[in-house]
Amino acid sequence: MENFERYFLHEKKIHLENISYETVKPEGKITQVKLGVKDTIVAQLLKNGVKINFNRAVNFDPEGIFSLSVTFSMMMIFDASTAGEVDWKSTDIAGEFRNSCPHLLTALMSRTSLMIAQITAAGGQNPLVTPASPVPAPAQE
């Protein structure tokens, strides 16, 4: 789809949707952990537009220290002048958003990254700063 944004009004509303933080006590002694970061984009079709949810989940392997999930949402309201041009029910809205709106995706990711850094620094430790850009999926082994 060319120019995904033309189907929506210029004004976009971004909201903090959800934060989940849980301290995890590891079983036994752990000497080394691997940080895992997973990004997910989900789109919800509404009567007057779409709601894009961007979630970043942070955890450790093996499980320990904490697990953290932050979700920001963006409301995109349909532009009445383009009504009927797209069959939204058969469109991969999340995929179109991911591929066509890097500046809007970056707006969600930068807020998410900042929130994760603030939460992880709240206990007096160094903040965990995750990228304000997409985290590539891990390679399949």
Do residues 64 and 30 lie in contact, with contact meaning Cβ atoms separated by under 8 Å?
A: yes
Share of the chain above pLDDT 70, in %: 94
CATH of the domain at 94: 3.10.420.10
In a domain, 42, yes or no: yes
In a domain, 34, yes or no: yes
In a domain, 107, yes or no: yes
Position 27 confidence tier, pLDDT thresholds 50, 70, 90? confident
In a domain, 137, yes or no: no
95-128 per-position pLDDT tens digit: 999 999 999 999 999 999 999 999 999 978 889 9
In a domain, 96, yes or no: yes
In a domain, 134, yes or no: no
- Which segment, 24-28, 72-76, 126-130, is predicted with the most confidence on average? 72-76
Do residues 40 and 57 lie in contact, with contact meaning Cβ atoms separated by under 8 Å?
A: yes
DSSP letter string, 57-121: EEEEESS-EEEEEEEEEEEEEEPGGGTTSS-GGGS-HHHHHHHH-HHHHHHHHHHHHHHHHHHHH
Say yes or no to pLDDT of 138 above 90: no
Confidence at residue 24, expressed as pLDDT on a 0 to 100 scale: 82
Domain count, the chain: 1
Q: Which domain holds residue 92?
A: 7-121
In a domain, 139, yes or no: no
**Conformation bin of residue 81: beta by default, left when phi > 0, alpha when psi is -120 to 50:** alpha
In a domain, 130, yes or no: no
